Amino acid sequence: MSQTTLPPVLLLGAGRMGGALFAGWARRGLAPSALVDPSPVPGIARAGDIVAGNLTALPAGFAPAAAILAVKPQMADAVMAALGRVLPPGAVVLSIMAGRRIDGIMAATGRVAPVVRAMPNTPAAIGQGMTVACAGPGVTAPQRDLCDLLLGAVGDVAWVDDEALIDPVTAVSGSGPAYVFLLAELLEQAGIAQGLPADLARLLARKTVAGAGALLASSAADAADLRRAVTSPRGTTEAALTVLMEAAAWPTAVHAAVAAAARRATELAA
């Protein structure tokens, strides 16, 4: 398989995350493919792509190499049952649904289909995603390579052998962008409270978060080392971090937040 082209896929759920993935695959030279969603992201389909409101509307003979489950976990059962009836032999199921386990997906499709479970995050929309994947029983090396190509088209990919790690992955990187956006939101509000004009406070907050993230991404140093490098003794940053690093502040809140997200991911699989 060429590193610059991808075979046809069946995308189930062409919303924000599914749409981001599809756009990344299109940039990689994805063959004409099918999108199944009653209300797909506008403009996502290309000439030659099939857009259908449900699986029964797919044309006979369409044989994707992979079916990507990008629907909401709460809506997935009916979709998976229908998928089991139309999935061609040899196709791999790539699930990006939070909480839904490999064995449950296999059971819901009503057949022993090879399943890869993955958790990407929203920076995939700009090709800066982080995805962790786990291959289920029966996934062949070519099927895993295909999933790696699909996920790698929108960012970095890591693989784990223990599926139980996907729930904490979801809590850290899957939900993580929202935590960063909240930081930018709170910095903007704090700047306004200190007297900054609203437009300047927003600019400062967004550029600071984005720039710090870019610096972190470009550095091999630990985040803790970068933090210490910009924290002068008895300076302004130290004064702020003294508040944020109190035991009842960020150390407790972040751990509690990630634990809550991981519990919810587990609950969704129940």
**Domains of the chain and any CATH numbers:** 9-163 (3.40.50.720), 176-268 (1.10.3730.10)
Amino acid 270: pLDDT: 58
| Per-residue confidence (pLDDT) for residue 60, from 0 to 100 | 86
Q: Tell me, what's the pLDDT at 143?
A: 96
> Tens-of-pLDDT digits for all 270 residues of the chain?
444 579 999 999 988 889 989 998 998 899 999 999 988 888 899 999 999 998 988 998 899 999 999 998 777 888 888 887 888 888 999 999 887 899 989 888 876 679 999 999 999 988 899 999 999 999 999 999 999 999 999 999 999 999 999 999 999 999 999 999 999 999 999 999 999 999 999 999 999 999 999 999 999 999 999 999 999 999 999 999 999 999 899 999 999 999 999 999 888 775
Dihedral in degrees, nearest 10, Cα atoms 204, 207, 209, 214:
-160
- Tokens found for residue 117: 């479970």
Q: What is the pLDDT of residue 112?
A: 65
Cβ burial 119-142 (10 Å sphere, 16+ → b, else e):
bbbbbbbeeebbbbbbbbeebeee
| pLDDT computed for residue 2 by the predictor | 43
DSSP letter at 172 equals I
- Sequence letter at residue 16: R
Side-chain-side CA neighbours of 59 within 13 Å: the count stands at 8
Which sign does the torsion angle of CA 19, 24, 26, 27 carry?
positive
User: Using CA atoms, how far apart are residues 230 and 212, in angstroms rounded to an integer?
Assistant: 11
Contact 133, 116 (CB under 8 A): yes
